[in-house]
Amino acid sequence: MSGWNHTNANWAEKTCAACGNTFTPKSGAHKFCTPECKGKWKYITGVASTENQYKKISGDWERYVSRLLYFNGRKRDQLTREIILKKLEEQNYRCALTGYPLTCKLEKGTRCMTNASIDRIEAGGAYIENNIRIVCRAVNSWRSDLPTEEFIAWCQAVVDYAKEHKA
Protein backbone atom coordinates (compact mmCIF):
# COMPACT_ATOMS: atom_id res chain seq x y z
CA MET A 1 0.00 0.00 0.00
CA SER A 2 1.34 3.37 -0.96
CA GLY A 3 2.13 5.50 2.08
CA TRP A 4 1.60 2.62 4.50
CA ASN A 5 3.87 2.72 7.54
CA HIS A 6 5.94 -0.49 7.65
CA THR A 7 7.68 0.55 10.88
CA ASN A 8 5.16 -1.08 13.21
CA ALA A 9 4.51 -4.16 11.07
CA ASN A 10 5.57 -7.55 12.44
CA TRP A 11 7.07 -9.54 9.59
CA ALA A 12 7.83 -13.22 10.00
CA GLU A 13 11.48 -14.25 9.78
CA LYS A 14 12.67 -15.35 6.35
CA THR A 15 15.65 -17.18 4.96
CA CYS A 16 17.96 -15.05 2.81
CA ALA A 17 17.80 -16.20 -0.81
CA ALA A 18 21.55 -15.64 -1.23
CA CYS A 19 23.29 -16.84 1.95
CA GLY A 20 20.63 -18.87 3.76
CA ASN A 21 20.78 -16.85 7.01
CA THR A 22 17.51 -16.00 8.70
CA PHE A 23 16.53 -12.37 9.00
CA THR A 24 13.53 -10.21 9.83
CA PRO A 25 12.45 -8.38 6.66
CA LYS A 26 11.48 -4.72 6.66
CA SER A 27 8.67 -5.49 4.23
CA GLY A 28 7.00 -8.58 2.88
CA ALA A 29 8.90 -8.30 -0.39
CA HIS A 30 12.44 -8.50 1.04
CA LYS A 31 14.36 -11.63 0.03
CA PHE A 32 17.87 -10.73 1.22
CA CYS A 33 19.36 -10.09 4.64
CA THR A 34 21.82 -7.41 3.47
CA PRO A 35 22.49 -5.22 0.44
CA GLU A 36 25.62 -7.33 -0.15
CA CYS A 37 23.52 -10.49 -0.50
CA LYS A 38 21.17 -8.68 -2.87
CA GLY A 39 24.19 -7.69 -4.98
CA LYS A 40 25.49 -11.29 -5.04
CA TRP A 41 22.15 -12.70 -6.20
CA LYS A 42 22.68 -11.86 -9.86
CA TYR A 43 25.96 -13.79 -9.77
CA ILE A 44 24.46 -16.74 -7.89
CA THR A 45 21.66 -17.09 -10.42
CA GLY A 46 24.03 -16.66 -13.37
CA VAL A 47 22.34 -13.49 -14.60
CA ALA A 48 25.70 -11.76 -14.20
CA SER A 49 29.26 -13.05 -14.30
CA THR A 50 32.72 -11.58 -14.12
CA GLU A 51 33.13 -12.28 -17.84
CA ASN A 52 29.99 -10.45 -18.94
CA GLN A 53 30.69 -7.56 -16.54
CA TYR A 54 34.18 -7.26 -18.04
CA LYS A 55 32.68 -7.29 -21.54
CA LYS A 56 30.44 -4.35 -20.57
CA ILE A 57 33.37 -2.37 -19.15
CA SER A 58 36.13 -3.30 -21.62
CA GLY A 59 36.56 -0.58 -24.23
CA ASP A 60 34.04 1.73 -22.51
CA TRP A 61 36.01 4.60 -20.97
CA GLU A 62 33.04 5.90 -18.94
CA ARG A 63 32.60 2.54 -17.19
CA TYR A 64 36.32 1.86 -16.88
CA VAL A 65 36.90 5.25 -15.23
CA SER A 66 34.15 4.46 -12.71
CA ARG A 67 36.20 1.36 -11.79
CA LEU A 68 39.34 3.48 -11.32
CA LEU A 69 37.59 5.51 -8.62
CA TYR A 70 37.85 2.52 -6.29
CA PHE A 71 41.05 0.99 -4.93
CA ASN A 72 41.11 -2.00 -2.59
CA GLY A 73 37.35 -1.66 -2.15
CA ARG A 74 37.55 1.99 -1.05
CA LYS A 75 36.41 5.00 -3.05
CA ARG A 76 38.93 7.70 -3.78
CA ASP A 77 36.70 10.41 -2.30
CA GLN A 78 38.47 13.45 -3.74
CA LEU A 79 38.18 12.21 -7.34
CA THR A 80 35.27 12.05 -9.75
CA ARG A 81 34.73 10.47 -13.15
CA GLU A 82 34.79 13.96 -14.65
CA ILE A 83 38.24 14.70 -13.17
CA ILE A 84 39.70 11.46 -14.49
CA LEU A 85 38.10 11.84 -17.94
CA LYS A 86 39.42 15.42 -18.09
CA LYS A 87 42.95 14.15 -17.28
CA LEU A 88 42.65 11.50 -19.99
CA GLU A 89 41.61 14.13 -22.53
CA GLU A 90 44.41 16.50 -21.45
CA GLN A 91 46.87 13.63 -21.93
CA ASN A 92 45.27 12.64 -25.25
CA TYR A 93 44.57 9.19 -23.75
CA ARG A 94 48.31 8.57 -23.48
CA CYS A 95 50.46 7.56 -20.51
CA ALA A 96 51.80 10.66 -18.77
CA LEU A 97 55.26 9.07 -18.37
CA THR A 98 55.78 6.94 -21.50
CA GLY A 99 53.46 8.46 -24.08
CA TYR A 100 52.04 4.98 -24.84
CA PRO A 101 48.37 4.90 -25.86
CA LEU A 102 46.25 3.96 -22.84
CA THR A 103 43.73 1.14 -22.98
CA CYS A 104 40.73 0.02 -20.93
CA LYS A 105 40.65 -3.71 -21.66
CA LEU A 106 39.37 -6.21 -19.13
CA GLU A 107 39.66 -9.94 -19.55
CA LYS A 108 39.36 -12.45 -16.74
CA GLY A 109 42.71 -13.91 -15.72
CA THR A 110 44.89 -11.44 -17.64
CA ARG A 111 46.47 -8.07 -16.96
CA CYS A 112 46.73 -5.50 -19.69
CA MET A 113 49.87 -3.51 -18.95
CA THR A 114 48.75 -0.53 -21.04
CA ASN A 115 45.47 -0.13 -19.13
CA ALA A 116 44.96 3.28 -17.58
CA SER A 117 45.95 3.60 -13.93
CA ILE A 118 45.80 6.56 -11.55
CA ASP A 119 49.28 7.60 -10.41
CA ARG A 120 49.98 10.06 -7.63
CA ILE A 121 52.61 12.56 -8.75
CA GLU A 122 53.81 12.93 -5.17
CA ALA A 123 54.06 9.26 -4.17
CA GLY A 124 52.15 8.67 -0.96
CA GLY A 125 50.29 11.97 -1.31
CA ALA A 126 46.55 12.37 -1.58
CA TYR A 127 44.44 11.26 -4.52
CA ILE A 128 43.42 14.79 -5.48
CA GLU A 129 43.09 16.44 -8.88
CA ASN A 130 46.40 18.32 -8.83
CA ASN A 131 48.36 15.28 -7.56
CA ILE A 132 47.30 12.69 -10.12
CA ARG A 133 48.14 11.75 -13.66
CA ILE A 134 47.04 8.78 -15.72
CA VAL A 135 49.74 6.25 -16.58
CA CYS A 136 49.99 2.70 -17.90
CA ARG A 137 49.39 0.02 -15.32
CA ALA A 138 52.92 -1.30 -15.90
CA VAL A 139 54.51 2.09 -15.21
CA ASN A 140 52.43 2.62 -12.07
CA SER A 141 53.39 -0.82 -10.82
CA TRP A 142 57.11 -0.31 -11.51
CA ARG A 143 57.23 3.21 -10.12
CA SER A 144 55.50 2.18 -6.91
CA ASP A 145 56.45 4.72 -4.26
CA LEU A 146 59.55 6.18 -5.95
CA PRO A 147 59.68 9.89 -6.67
CA THR A 148 59.36 10.46 -10.44
CA GLU A 149 62.97 11.65 -10.83
CA GLU A 150 64.33 8.56 -9.07
CA PHE A 151 62.10 6.29 -11.17
CA ILE A 152 63.39 7.92 -14.37
CA ALA A 153 66.99 7.52 -13.15
CA TRP A 154 66.40 3.79 -12.59
CA CYS A 155 64.82 3.46 -16.04
CA GLN A 156 67.81 5.25 -17.57
CA ALA A 157 70.17 2.89 -15.72
CA VAL A 158 68.33 -0.11 -17.21
CA VAL A 159 68.58 1.38 -20.71
CA ASP A 160 72.28 2.23 -20.28
CA TYR A 161 73.10 -1.24 -18.99
CA ALA A 162 71.13 -2.91 -21.78
CA LYS A 163 73.03 -0.89 -24.39
CA GLU A 164 76.40 -1.80 -22.85
CA HIS A 165 75.60 -5.48 -22.54
CA LYS A 166 73.34 -5.79 -25.59
CA ALA A 167 70.64 -7.33 -23.40
Q: Is the pLDDT of residue 25 over 90?
A: no
Q: Is the pLDDT of residue 5 over 70?
A: no
Contacts of 118 (CB under 8 A, 6+ apart): 68, 71, 76, 79, 84, 127, 132, 134, 140
Q: pTM here?
A: 0.71
Q: What DSSP line would sit under 44-113, residue for residue?
A: HTTSS-HHHHHHHHTT-HHHHHHHHTEETTEE-TT--HHHHHHHHHHTTTB-TTT-PBPB----TT---T
What is the average per-residue pLDDT within 5-28?
A: 80
Query: What average pLDDT is seen over the chain?
Result: 89
| Closest alpha carbon to 50 in 40, 60, 61, 59 | 40
pLDDT at 1: 47
pLDDT at 123: 86
What is the average per-residue pLDDT within 83-109?
A: 96
